[in-house]
Chain A
Amino acid sequence: MAELLAGSWESLSLAALLQLLESEEITGWLALGEVGRVGLSKGQVVAAEAGELRGRDALRTLFVVPGQGQFQVTGAAEVPGQSLGQTMGLIMDGIRLSDEWHRLMGMVLEGVGELGALPAGVIEGLDGQRCVLDVVLGAQVPPVRVIDPLLTLLDQRHIRLVRTDPDVMDRWLAYRRRSSEPDPLEGLDSFECLSAGRRLLRSGDLDGAESAFRRAISLAPDDRIASQNLRRLLALRGTNPR
């Protein structure tokens, strides 16, 4: 299908793009670099993809983890799917989540109550030692899946703020850069992920190494070597390996 519009994602925000495409009643796909894409039918958002996420969570992720690079709009005769909601509502929801995430990601939190609303991996990470960003990236959980649950648990005093990590923004920007690039672990088997993790660890990329070890474990849950490497890495980072 024909390309209708293209440019830099950094100079034209997702919010601006969605409003423009709505006003022009475009049917087609908005591709956002390597991060994801949004499907539109007569200007209404009917589909969104970001990594393994689909639908509303995917769209929210595109707001919270904006990529860098180019966007491209291509027309289509039809994009199937139901509207995800009123465009302005979707936009403001996404921007709100982005604000909340920027507030939360540097918080070092400790669980002191019932944490059942959080995804596995995140619960264990709320040990008062690592900030939310490190916990979420380490657990390979999309930020959009933890923002509202964390806010609720903070409000209910089931978690408490220990301190705030002042250096979190650098790591967040590094993560965003990586997110804009193709997944380096895409298509690798567990052994290859383990090897990649060791290589990243030697190069000092602890976040990348942790992601690789966790990917190796997810592909081969009984792989004791990958688990040992992850435990050593977490100990190195000063986190209680559980």
Chain B
Amino acid sequence: MRIQAAKRLLTVKIVYYGPGLGGKTTNLAQLHERFPGGQRGEMLQLDTDTERTLFFDYFPMVLGRIGGYRVKVDFFTVPGQSFYHATRRAVLEGADGIAFIADSTPSREQANIVAREDLVENLAQLGVSLQDVPHVYQWNKRDARNALSVAMMASVLNPEGAPSAPAIAIRDKGVWETHMLLLGQVFDKIRTSTSPKKVSIG
């Protein structure tokens, strides 16, 4: 969270994380489409080397005021490939909320696990525990053939029992629900804080 006292602006950082080709980009593209034009910023795209990954998305949305501060939300995705180490670190640094987009396709079961382990490891390198960051899970691609069961995915990926939602992001199903679940978590934490204690630059 970044506070700009002179501007009375509070900026929150939301990161969409998950295995490559799991639907992170699709989620943010759908959200970007949904937000009113006057409230959203430009969606920035940087192509990475492989697959059809989007390097990151970023757009602000004015949400109203908290304690007299206007609120802006920055949304990011991270590239899945392992060699984008510095990028993932920069994106995760100072994250106020994380949406883990899991892929229900059976062949991606292991990729989901690796991505979550990677998330935990990257946060640990930043001195942060996943438990300390508001986060939600999205079980994406529920229309996949022989989709992994939600119960099975939750037992493996979400032992902490964080909020979760099923989705078919490509058809804009579950995208908004995931987004609102996460924002609820993030702003609950902000509101319950007596005062903003952490100001980070990520």
- Give the docked Cα–Cα distance between A20 and B87 (Å): 18
Q: Give chain A nearest CB distance to B78 CB in angstroms.
A: 10
Determine the residue in chain A with the shortest Cβ distance to B84: A99
Selecting from B40-48, B117-125, B137-145, B178-186, the interface stretch reads B40-48
User: Chain A contacts of B56 at CB under 8 A?
Assistant: 92
> Contact at A96–B4, with CB atoms within 8 Å?
no
Q: Give chain A nearest CB distance to B89 CB in angstroms.
A: 9
Interface of B is mostly: loop
Given contacts A92-B56, A95-B86, A100-B83, 14 further A-B pairs with CB under 8 A are A19-B2, A23-B2, A23-B4, A88-B74, A89-B58, A92-B55, A92-B91, A96-B46, A96-B48, A96-B87, A99-B85, A99-B86, A99-B87, A102-B83
A95 CB contact (under 8 Å) in B4, B6, B87 = B87
> Contact at B87–A92, with CB atoms within 8 Å?
yes
Q: Is A93 an interface residue (CB 8 A)?
A: yes
User: Chain B contacts of A11 at CB under 8 A?
Assistant: none
Chain A interface size, as a band, is: 20 to 34
Q: Is A61 an interface residue (CB 8 A)?
A: no
Which A positions have Cβ atoms within 8 angstroms of B? 15-16, 19-20, 23-24, 86, 88-89, 91-93, 95-96, 98-100, 102-103, 151, 155
Q: Which of B6-65 contact A (CB under 8 A)?
A: 6-7, 42, 44, 46, 48-49, 55-56, 58
Q: Give chain B nearest CB distance to A42 CB in angstroms.
A: 13
User: Chain A contacts of B83 at CB under 8 A?
Assistant: 99-100, 102-103
> Contact at B2–A92, with CB atoms within 8 Å?
no
> Contact at B90–A86, with CB atoms within 8 Å?
no
Q: Is B152 an interface residue (CB 8 A)?
A: no
Q: Give chain B nearest CB distance to A172 CB in angstroms.
A: 14
> Contact at B84–A96, with CB atoms within 8 Å?
yes
Q: Is B151 an interface residue (CB 8 A)?
A: no
User: Chain A contacts of B74 at CB under 8 A?
Assistant: 88
Q: Give chain A nearest CB distance to B189 CB in angstroms.
A: 22
Ordered nearest first, which 6 A-B pairs have the shortest CB separation?
A16-B201, A103-B83, A89-B44, A99-B84, A99-B86, A95-B90
B49 CB contact (under 8 Å) in A19, A88, A98, A100 = A100
0/1 string, B59-102, CB within 8 A of A gives 1: 00000000000000010000100011111001100000000000
- Give the docked Cα–Cα distance between A100 and B87 (Å): 10
Max chain B C-beta neighbours (<10 A), residue from A92, A98, A100, A155: A92
Known A86-B42, A103-B83, A155-B49: A92·B4 in contact at CB below 8 Å: no
Q: Give chain B nearest CB distance to A234 CB in angstroms.
A: 30
Q: Give chain A nearest CB distance to B10 CB in angstroms.
A: 12
User: Chain B contacts of A15 at CB under 8 A?
Assistant: 90, 201
- Give the docked Cα–Cα distance between A14 and B56 (Å): 19
Determine the residue in chain A with the shortest Cβ distance to B41: A86
Determine the residue in chain A with the shortest Cβ distance to B49: A151
User: Chain B contacts of A19 at CB under 8 A?
Assistant: 2, 201-202
- Give the docked Cα–Cα distance between A15 and B56 (Å): 15
User: Chain A contacts of B87 at CB under 8 A?
Assistant: 92, 95-96, 99
> Contact at A86–B44, with CB atoms within 8 Å?
yes
Determine the residue in chain A with the shortest Cβ distance to B44: A89
12 contacts between A and B (CB under 8 A): A15-B90, A19-B2, A20-B201, A23-B2, A23-B4, A86-B42, A88-B58, A92-B56, A92-B58, A93-B46, A98-B86, A99-B86
